Structure 1
Amino acid sequence: MNNRVVVRSLVTPDGCLVAMDDGLVQWRPHNGTNRRIKLDAIATVMLVVKGPTNRIETAIIGDAQGGVTFLTLPLLDLVDKFTVEGGVVRSMCSAAPSETSFLVATQAGQVWMVGPNVPGRGVKLFTYDGPVSSLRLHNSIIHIQSGWHRATYSMDGSQMMNIDGTQPFTHKAQQRANRRAKILESQQRSGDAPQPLMLDLPVVA
């Protein structure tokens, strides 16, 4: 009996890449033979990259132990593997048009660049105060998101902008609290005011 549970899946025009809760990764093409490989840890992030022929040729998989594995598609042959500090890999994106280096963000907020041509095969760019749930690179600016918070960084790791997305909600909550206080104050004043006398009316049988 197979008790595996799908934890990640990625649908492409050529097939579906599926990751299981025991570290197994399977490629299910629309046409052809299913392929599988067992990773050392559970996959947490998956992305695929097109090759020169404009077909999907590579899968990049981040895992729960900070591993980043490069696999070929459709054969799922192991090309390379990198390891970053900071715990679980939470998000990834391409860092170069050549698709040979990638940005990797972790649960601890660390953002790394990894790749075969990166010095030391991996360089930590910066650390954000919180888990990085998503990141992207646009015009050499790194955009990250952590819950309701957003920030931008340059490629040298210096922060350019930091936005607290909870501020509008905090302001609205304060406005609601002020309105409730005014209503309670108005009700209290009404309760302290003298009440009109109620005359006893005769009971009609």
Structure 2
Amino acid sequence: MRYIPAISRLIDEFSKLPGIGRKTAQRLAFYVVDASPDDAVGFAEAILDAKRKVHYCERCFNLTEETLCDICNDVKRDPRVMCVVESPRDLLAIENTKEFNGTYHVLHGAISPMEGIGPNEIKIRELILRLQNDQTSELIIATNPSIEGEATAMYISKLLKGTDIKVSRLAHGIPVGGDLEYADEVTLARALEGRRIL
């Protein structure tokens, strides 16, 4: 079935969003068409408002509407411990644990030669410059447990060899509530490497 041009364009635009297939894009498009004019305008204005106002924090590259994000502006944070993450979503995941009180650095990606992403395409240079000027004594690398995340972690740790900065990596292993029989070999190996004394 062919849709009228306006709906077809809306479906195409929704289809560009990550995780949105054609069927979901169609449902979203029809939801917007059926919404009240006020709701549709509010939705469109929210998108434009976010696009106009949100940018990277000048220090850590988190998303913010100000020059510095709330975390960088928080004087209660421990400036000696920095956590490196791939994306602002990863930062939020760690913040939601309420267990970390240091600072962050958002790379906005991971090294992936297959996709043409090298160290210069993500915020590694900015991280190194920051570490030269900040009072960081420990760097926690919290990149994803993927080939790209591992490559990025190794690259950063090699850059910091010979410095006084202690470099650590988040432990990876069996999730709480998971069964050993369903874990793959790499996950089990990581869980054994990251074991701790009880």
TM-score of the superposed pair, with normalisation by structure 2: 0.26
- Choose between structure 1 and 2: higher helix proportion: 2
TM-score of the superposed pair, with normalisation by structure 1: 0.26
Higher RCO structure (Cα 8 Å, ≥6 apart): 2
- Choose between structure 1 and 2: higher strand proportion: 1
Bigger-Rg structure (1/2): 1
